[in-house]
Amino acid sequence: MKPDEVLPVVGNVDRTYEYHGVQVKFPYEAYQSQQDMMNAILSHVIPGRNLLVESVTGTGKTLALLCSLLAYQEHQSTQVKNPEECSPPKSPKREPRLIFYATRTVSHIKHIIDQLRLTQYAKTPMGILSSVKNTCNNEESDEHLCDYIPEDLAWLDHLNGQPIKAWDLESLKEFCSKNETCAYHELNTAIKNAKIIFCTYKYLLHPGIRQAMNINLKDNILVFDEGHNVEDLCRDVASTPKNFFTLTKVTELTAILQHALTSPKLVADERDHVRNLAEACQKFQCYLKGRLDALVKDNEFQVAVSIEDLQKDLTLVGLGPTQIQELQTDVSRLKENSSALLLENKLVQLISKVQIHRYLSNALMILRFLWDENLNSNYQVLLRRPELDGPGEDDGIDAKGLKEDQPKTDIELKLICLTSAVAFKCATDDAHSVIVASATLSPIAPLTSELGIPFEIQLSANHVIPQDGVFSACIARHSDDRGECELLDLTFDSWRDNEKNYYDQLGKIIKDICFLVPHGIVVFLPSKRRIDELRKSLEPSFATITNHKKVFFESDQRDQHALNEMLKKYKSQAETTQGAILFAVMRGKLSDGVEFRDNQARALVTIGIPFAPTEDPSVKEKRDYQDCKERTDSTGDFNGWDWYCSDAFKTLNQALGRSIRHPQDWCAILLIDSRFSKESLKYKDKLPNWLTNSFAKNPKEKTSTTMEDIIPELEKYIARFVA
């Protein structure tokens, strides 16, 4: 496809494609990349295999996923209705498999549903997993306080009269507000009738949430879109949240349970369950108090604990594997009976029964992991004295109740999960098929190892942009004052030793780019510090640069609102003749999930590689864990350095994918770092295929290029699109 060809209009012509006996209805003539995806998806979903799909933003990944999976589901429905025609006589009948489509944020869900509306599958019954907080129109309601009786629900009847049945949370809430019905109860009813359910990752990956909401993933199809985010979230959900197992929180919980025992309304069975939990919490409280005293005595703030030592300590306080299982039964029984925990006293006015159940369930679930021989080697255990800097994450208890008895110093038992496989394998083991899809999954090999389940194939779809539609180049050298070329080696040590010279040279390169490229330019650096230092170096040249571009900095923004306002101003300014240049941070908020389309990014520049700080304790622990696993695991798992590189390039590749959003878009992509030169093959294979395939060749066929080498080719490229 040439850059000036017209993009197919969605909805103009429906096409049907057949793959592996399944008829797929598509809203327009599918790009080759979409056809490749649908073929791969169905070839793996039908027999129940797992698939990784890497497809650059702008290639229609979401539509390919939705249409192929819903076509398969429709095909299954036909088999159920006509088993004698479609199945062997002895084949058991089953309903079509439910599709769980998970993504990163609620706003991403809305985008996916907008895509669903474009298809012939828009009538498919759907649901959205959401909390009371995000759904209920009554801001004062909670699961335990909502006095709405779910009668005369009207949403599904309303949908039956609509030509398109795909909907989002906002349209549901608006309908419920006008019709005086409860959005949360309407949502639960819709889920029971749904064939495809949309949600954020946590609903599928967090075992506590799955249990609380009775989410059954067995024999169903799971899709993790924007899947480059899944690794980190899996480690998070299998670790203790901030300030979770603290002496303050356990002391408060013990007091709540002991108070509940004084209620005359408790029946005998309920009293036994509450007593068991209260006694376990009190023993755990004593254990934490003893460890705190030891830390204070030794003037230490943190100490690592082996799994074996922690198991011995937990056994002594009645939290061995058998006792944990019994306590989980106690929690389940209390959840079934809403009167078991009475919230009558001032101590617990702000804490609901739902929160208590949630906290206890999550706590016991994590402690259970420590007794699983297949899992506990994947944990690091720390006892630390946390700063009392406010409540932790939304884990159910907000350490607000106790005042007089609250300890002046605190201690936290911190359990850190070191591999994504603990949560991911637990969630997906019984699924029929798992698809992890993203615009950027590269490097793929470490990802497959990290997730811990087999993937039969990894599809890396081609870009819809032809190779000559993308200009990409590595600026590996700079010319010094004597006209000699020197490597732009942006490793930490080299950058430190040549700091002033490097910033001066980077400033010259950026000025050249500003003079050449129209409209918007986005420049990504590894850290806020690097941006600030480059900014200082550029100050003498700002007058020259601002004649060509208005300058914006992500690092200037104090909060999300300020960032959003700055981004609007940048995008608006980029459309003008003068244009704009934006300096942003890799690992920052603008490097993942933000689009810079058309004039918003006619050049995208990356400077360096965003390796995580080696002094970060979590980075060190993860690298040590991977090195140890490689030594002891016969499967030859990737080592700490492999993970460290993978983490950096996953971040870099996300930044590189912020531009070029459709077939008529164009953007010059420039990587400034000698480690990407043709001489250095060390890192080339970690970049996306669509990018490495299009690296520009300068006329002299040098192995490493300077900005001066690139300028003639860059001018020709821009001239093709600018009159």
Q: Give yes or no: residues 386 and 532 share one domain.
A: no
Distance, in Å, from the CA atom of 704 to the CA atom of 222, rounded to the nearest integer, reads 44
Residues 396 and 477 in one domain: no
- Is pLDDT at 400 greater than 50 in this prediction? no
Residue that is written with structure tokens 């944020």 in the block: 105
Q: Quick check: 66 and 39 in contact, CB under 8 A?
A: no
pLDDT value at position 354?
A: 67
Q: Angle formed by the axes of helices 247-260 and 353-369, to 10°?
A: 120
The DSSP letter of residue 465 is S
How wide is the angle at C-alpha 654 spanned by C-alphas 650 and 658, nearest 5°?
170
Q: Specify the pLDDT at position 592.
A: 85
Within a domain: 71:
no
Tens of pLDDT, residue by residue over 629-680, are 888 876 656 889 999 999 999 999 999 989 888 888 899 999 998 888 765 6
Question: What is the Cα–Cα distance from 572 to 648, expressed in whole angstroms?
Answer: 31
In a shared domain, residues 486 and 414: no
Within a domain: 528: yes
**What does the radius of gyration of the chain's CA atoms come to, in whole angstroms?**
28
Q: Are 367 and 314 in contact (CB under 8 A)?
A: yes
What tokens does 553 get? 């900095």
| Residue 688 resides in a domain | yes
Picking from 253, 255, 248, the residue whose alpha carbon sits closest to that of residue 292 is 248
* Tokens encoding 138: 């009554």
pLDDT tens digits for 522-580? Answer: 999 999 989 988 888 888 877 788 888 999 999 777 788 899 999 999 999 999 999 99
| pLDDT recorded at residue 148 | 57
Distance of CA 161 to the CA centre of its chain: 36
| Measured distance CA(659)–CA(592) in Å, rounded | 11
Interacting residues of 539 by C-beta distance below 8 A, sequence separation 6+? none
Strand spans (E) along 210-301: 221-224, 245-246
Segment (H or E) for 431: none
- Token pair listed for 86: 């479609």
pTM given for the model = 0.85
Q: Are residues 397 and 545 in the same domain?
A: no
Joined together, the tokens standing for residue 41 give 């998806």
What is the rounded distance in angstroms from the CA atom of residue 406 to the CA atom of residue 410? 9
| Strand-by-strand arrangement of the 221-224 sheet | 126-128, 196-200, 99-103, 221-224, 433-438, 51-54, 457-460
Q: Which residues contact 433 (CB under 8 A, 6 or more apart)?
A: 44, 45, 48, 49, 50, 51, 221, 222
Among the candidates 360, 393, 421, a domain finishes at 421
Mean pLDDT of all residues in 470-479: 84
Residue 193 domain flag = no
Q: What is the pLDDT of residues 122-157, one digit of tens each?
A: 999 999 998 877 777 665 555 444 555 556 677 677
pLDDT band at 616 (very low <50, low <70, confident <90, very high): confident
In a domain, 461, yes or no: no
Whether the bond between 407 and the residue before it is cis, its omega within 30 degrees of 0, is no
| Confidence label for 159 from pLDDT (cuts 50, 70 and 90) | confident
Name the residue range of residue 332's domain. 245-421
What is the model's pLDDT at position 290?
93
Both 407 and 542 in a single domain?
A: no
Closest CA to 604 of 483, 698, 714: 714
Task: Report yes or no on 624 lying in a domain.
Answer: no
Secondary structure element (H or E) that encloses residue 600, with its range: none
Is pLDDT above 90 for 311?
yes
Residue 487 shares a structural domain with residue 383: no
Q: How far is CA 572 from CA 34, 249, 569, 581, in A?
A: 32, 48, 5, 12
292 is a domain residue: yes
Quote the CA–CA distance of 458 and 442 in Å, as a whole number. 10
Cα–Cα–Cα angle for 277, 283, 288, rounded to 5 degrees: 120
**Pick from 421, 455, 481: which residue ends a domain?**
421
Is 523 strand, coil or helix?
Answer: strand
Residue 689 and residue 545 share a domain? yes
Query: What percent of the residues of the chain are helix, what percent strand, and what percent coil, each to the nearest 5?
Result: 45, 15, 40
In a domain, 254, yes or no: yes
Of 421, 451, 483, the one marking the end of a domain is 421
Look at residue 544 and give its three-state secondary structure: helix
CA 101/CA 118 separation, integer angstroms: 17
Q: Are residues 524 and 601 in the same domain?
A: yes
What integer is the mean pLDDT of 94-117?
91
Q: Domain with 528 in it: what CATH number?
A: 3.40.50.300
Q: pLDDT tens, 193-234?
A: 899 999 999 999 998 889 888 899 999 999 999 888 899 999
Number of domains observed in the structure of the chain:
2
684 and 576, same structural domain? Answer: yes
CB atoms within 10 A of CB 357: 20
**In the predicted structure, residue 690 carries a pLDDT above the cut 70:** yes
Strand partners, 222: 100, 434
- Residues 492 and 412 both lie in one domain: no
Note whether 399 and 290 are same-domain residues: yes
Judgement on whether residues 249 and 388 belong to the same structural domain of the protein: yes
What the block records as the tokens of 150 is: 């779910």
Whose CA is closest to 66, among 33, 32, 112, 109? Answer: 112
- The sign of the torsion formed by the CA atoms of 179, 181, 183, 189 equals negative
Asked if residue 20 has pLDDT above 90, the reply is yes
**CB half-sphere exposure, 138, CA atoms < 13 A:** 14
**Other CB atoms within 10 Å distance of the CB of residue 679:** 13
- Spell 631-640 as b/e; 16+ CB within 10 A means b: eeeeeebbbb
pLDDT for residue 363 is more than 80: yes
Instruction: Evaluate whether 53 touches 442 at the Cβ level (below 8 Å).
Output: no
Q: For residue 638, what are its two tokens?
A: 């990737």
CB 557 within 8 A of CB 619: no
User: Which is more confidently placed, 250 or 689?
Assistant: 250
Beta strands in 461-519 (DSSP E): 471-475, 477-479, 485-487
Backbone angles phi, psi at 568, to 5 degrees: -60, -45
CA dihedral (68, 108, 434, 122) in degrees, to 10, reads -30
- Classify 583 as helix, strand or coil: strand
| Region of residue 289 (left: phi > 0; alpha: psi -120 to 50; beta: else) | alpha
Q: Which residue has the higher pLDDT, 623 or 487?
A: 623
| Residue 396, pLDDT above cutoff 60 | no
